[in-house]
């Protein structure tokens, strides 16, 4: 008997719980096939619970999450709840409290998937963004003065610590080393304007690279140019490391060039602790309960979860199954346009994993 992993499942809001049913289904079959077990425990954190109880994360929730090997998250965001409350109270709160300092986002175009980029195919779009996940503009550092008056002042500060930057950069170098694509790590920043923050990033980047990763080539790109090249020459990229805010923005661009929110997954990773995996698309509330939303992104998040837990063969098997599905079966990834229901897509992937494609 292989290992048993304890996994906390937060279906969350809107279509989150629907895609999560399919993700759990696929992970279970992969576990069976590769000789390990996953025990799932559901949590009802999200907009409905907040509306009922006024609470985002209940007392003790963070401590409880620490008992798990991983967290599998559907989506957070509810149309009746003001923007920011659930995102900050649940998603960001867990990222920060569990010190998930890496946001890992593969940008990979699977065979058969449409990209809006002309003349680009899977051979061109295959890179990874390593986004810092606990600092930068996301710490809530700042304040407001004279709110609501013509003299209002709003200050929101980007926090960059040597420790935070360094651990993120080291993680990214390791990703580049493991991928063996171009053996290149690119720092994405804005050294020409954000001269304090990205000067720290740049020095750390070159010092660490020179000393500990001489085999990895170092490149630097301004964030605006990164956006340009992601569209024009995505094949140039291997691994990109960047801060929280820039990472947030460029990974949505990345999601679009890999075929959209139906396929894009991410991991909030604490390499020494509990990590959390999610489709990055959001709760898509207008499709709730219709069975038309695409679960592939959630399934790919499950793949990342298994890989991070060390079950790399099971993860690879899920990826092969998803690739076979996009190549041969699911021609349109959009909600309601797949030609399959949410659960039929889950069944298809489950079958492919079981068959060992
Ligand atoms: C993401 C999301 C979140 C972020 C939001 C929902 C707070 O956009 O995971 O990229 O900005 O990090
Ligand atoms: Mn985002």
pLDDT digit string (tens) for 78-108? 999 999 999 999 999 999 999 999 999 999 9
Nearest CA to ligand 1 atom 7: 87
Where in the sequence of the chain do the CATH 3.40.718.10 domains occur?
1-101+267-357, 115-258
Query: What dihedral angle (degrees, nearest 10) is formed by the CA atoms of 191, 196, 197, 202?
Result: 50
Residues in a beta bridge with 224: none
pLDDT for the residue 145: 98
Antiparallel, parallel or unpaired: β 265-269 and 102-108: antiparallel
CA 104, 109, 111, 116 torsion: positive or negative?
positive
Please give the Cα distance from 152 to 241 (Å, whole number). Answer: 35
Beta bridge partners of 108: 126
Q: How far is CA 140 from CA 97, 103, 154, in A?
A: 14, 18, 12
Which residue has the least CA distance to atom 11 on ligand 1?
248
- CB under 6 Å to ligand 1: residues? 87, 91-92, 248, 280
Half-sphere exposure of 327 (CA within 13 A, CB side): 12
Low-confidence ranges of the chain (pLDDT < 70): 1
Task: Answer yes or no: are the C-beta atoms of 47 and 13 closer than 8 Å.
Answer: yes
**Tokens encoding 24:** 């759990």
Residue 155's SS3 state is strand
CA 116 to chain centroid, in Å, comes to 21
What single DSSP character describes residue 286? G
Query: From CA 184, how far away is CA 175, in angstroms rounded?
Result: 10
Q: What is the pLDDT of residues 5-46, one digit of tens each?
A: 999 999 999 999 999 999 999 999 999 999 999 999 999 999
Tokens 């090249």, residue located: 229
Closest-CA residue, ligand 1 atom 4, reads 248
For atom 9 of ligand 1, the residue with the nearest CA is 280
Distance 338 CA to ligand 1 centre (A): 26
Residue 75 pLDDT = 97
Q: What percent of the chain has pLDDT over 70?
A: 100
CATH number 2.40.37.10 given to 115-258: no
Those residues with Cβ within 8 angstroms of residue 33's Cβ, 6 or more apart along the chain or in another chain:
314, 317, 353, 354, 356
Q: Which ligand is the nearest neighbour of the Cα of 278?
A: 1
Q: What is the pLDDT of residue 194?
A: 98
Alpha-carbon 306 to chain mean position:
14
Sign, Cα dihedral of 87, 131, 9, 99: negative
DSSP annotation string for 195-236: TTHHHHHHHHHHHHHHHH-TTSEEEEEEHHHHHHHHHH-GGG
* CA separation for the pair 56, 48 (Å, rounded): 10
What is the topology classification, in CATH, of domain 1-101+267-357?
A: Isopropylmalate Dehydrogenase (3.40.718)
Contact indicator for 322, 299 with CB cutoff of 8 Å: yes
Report the atom number in ligand 1 closest to the C-alpha of 92.
7
| Radius of gyration of the chain measured on its C-alpha atoms | 20
Rounded CA-CA distance 357/344 in Å is: 18
* 314 touches 34 (CB < 8 A): yes
Taking the model in full, what pTM does it have?
0.97
């Amino acid at each position: 008997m292989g290992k048993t992993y304890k996994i906390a499942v937060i279906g969350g809001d809107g279509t989150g719980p629907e895609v999560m049913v399919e993700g759990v289904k696929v992970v279970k079959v992969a576990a069976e096939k590769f000789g390990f077990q996953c025990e799932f425990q559901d949590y009802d954190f999200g907009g409905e619970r907040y509306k009922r109880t006024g609470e985002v994360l209940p007392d003790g929730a963070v401590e409880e999450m620490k008992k798990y090997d991983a967290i599998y998250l559907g989506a957070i965001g509810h149309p009746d709840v003001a923007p920011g409350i659930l995102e900050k109270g649940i998603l960001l709160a867990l990222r920060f409290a569990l010190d998930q300092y890496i946001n890992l986002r593969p940008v990979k175009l699977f065979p058969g998937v449409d990209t809006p980029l002309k003349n680009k195919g899977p051979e061109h779009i295959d890179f990874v963004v390593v986004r810092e996940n606990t600092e930068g503009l996301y710490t809530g550092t700042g304040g407001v003065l004279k709110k609501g008056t013509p003299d209002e002042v709003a200050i929101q500060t980007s926090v960059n610590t040597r420790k935070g930057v360094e651990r993120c950069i080291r993680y990214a170098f390791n990703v580049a080393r493991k991928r063996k694509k171009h053996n290149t790590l690119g720092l994405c920043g804005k050294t020409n304007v954000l001269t304090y923050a990205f000067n720290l990033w740049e020095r750390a980047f070159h010092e660490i690279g020179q000393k500990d990763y001489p085999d990895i080539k170092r490149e630097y790109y301004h964030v605006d140019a990164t956006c340009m090249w992601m569209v024009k020459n995505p094949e140039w990229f291997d691994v990109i490391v960047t801060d929280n805010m820039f990472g947030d923005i460029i990974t949505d661009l990345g999601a679009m060039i890999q075929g959209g929110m139906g396929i894009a997954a991410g991991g909030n990773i604490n390499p020494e602790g509990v990590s959390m995996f999610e489709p990055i698309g959001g709760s898509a509330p207008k499709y709730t309960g219709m069975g038309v939303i695409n679960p592939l992104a959630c399934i790919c998040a499950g793949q990342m979860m298994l890989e991070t837990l060390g079950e790399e063969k099971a993860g690879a098997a899920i990826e092969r199954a998803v690739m076979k599905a996009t190549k041969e079966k699911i021609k349109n990834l959009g909600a309601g346009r797949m030609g399959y229901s949410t659960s039929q897509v889950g069944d298809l992937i489950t079958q492919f994993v079981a068959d060992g494609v």
